[in-house]
Structure 1
Amino acid sequence: MTTKPLDSPIRQQLLTHARSQNAWLPRPVSDELLRELYELAKWGPTSMNCSPMRVTFVRSADTRAQLLSAVSPGNVEKVRTAPVVAIIAHDTAFYEQLPKLFPHRPNAGDLFRDRPALAEETCLRNSSLQGGYFILAARMLGLDCGPLSGFDARLIDSLFFAGTSLRVNFLCCLGYGDPAGLFPRSPRFDFDEACVII
């Protein structure tokens, strides 16, 4: 397969015109679309194909109430009104799945099993990568996103992942954004402020 640059409308939908949403239209997001979203996002590369991201889609009133108890005050309305909120988590025991995901090195999990610092670093880095792919995949499917980091991680872990090896990375509201909730677009660094070529 030969790759080629994507057309401007695609670039706009994915990045240059896309916005982090603060308010949501009352338009539902189907289970089928959420499945399609994961099936698209899962193909993004991770080191050793470790794929540590796990996603909990919060939709019901009961689970949303639990989630609302853990978010910071500035995020309550966003989480309350979004059609779906994805808890993007990572499996800290991701290495136990490497025989399935990285079969040409069946003992790859041994690299991490007794090295918790390396496992944690690898897990967080790669689940964050997958979270970025998740946002781009959602935008490809016509969804808007509102990623959030203002929450009590320990509380979310205790409410949703007690007794498991999962830990929250970030939250991502999903749906169809209400343009009335947008702020003026914030600036970004220019190339020379953020990059060097050496």
Structure 2
Amino acid sequence: MIITERTYQVLKYLAIAVVIAPVFWLAYEGFVPERGPGDTAATAGDRAFADGYYDRALREYRTALERDPENRHALLGKAGTYVQMERYDEALASYAQFIERYPDFAGAYANRGIALDRMGRYEDALEDYDRALTLDTSVADGPGWLTRFLHMGPEGQPTVADRADYIREQLALPEDERQLYDPEQDRAQRVYTQRAD
């Protein structure tokens, strides 16, 4: 393949942009003052969560909540972290606290449904999945393309709507024919992420 001078110039500037853009973003994140009490810690919690460092994520979310007990994003992040740590009772308590304050936020119901699903409380999970889908139909879309690209591969994962349909189908079968638990697939399901601001 022959590369023309114009193609070379375009590739060169593209490579420079790819290298410089993250530097500017890091500088922006480092110098922009905290938008609200606890927001910087909540953002640090998000980064730790995304990288799978759940203990650190939990510490950051707790720090954010110490600075602002009403920080919606940190409340939701803490609950999701408990789900990933398989501390389901604490996750349910955190979701209940969040839902009491913000009863119309679909993501909280979707994630509480995931926790209930993993606990084997399928009817309760289905109820929360349906509630989430009623409040916000975009929950059915599943994770955004960037999350799928970085964490899931080309197939992605079942969405909340897919899982609700599956549970509904399985619950309609005779009890001895149901297959509601698949450890490998269940562990792969990520909590629903949506900014709670």
Could you state the TM-score of these two structures normalised by the residue count of structure 1? 0.22
Query: Rg: which structure is higher?
Result: 2
Higher helix content, 1 or 2: 2
Larger RCO, structure (CA 8 Å, separation 6 or more): 1
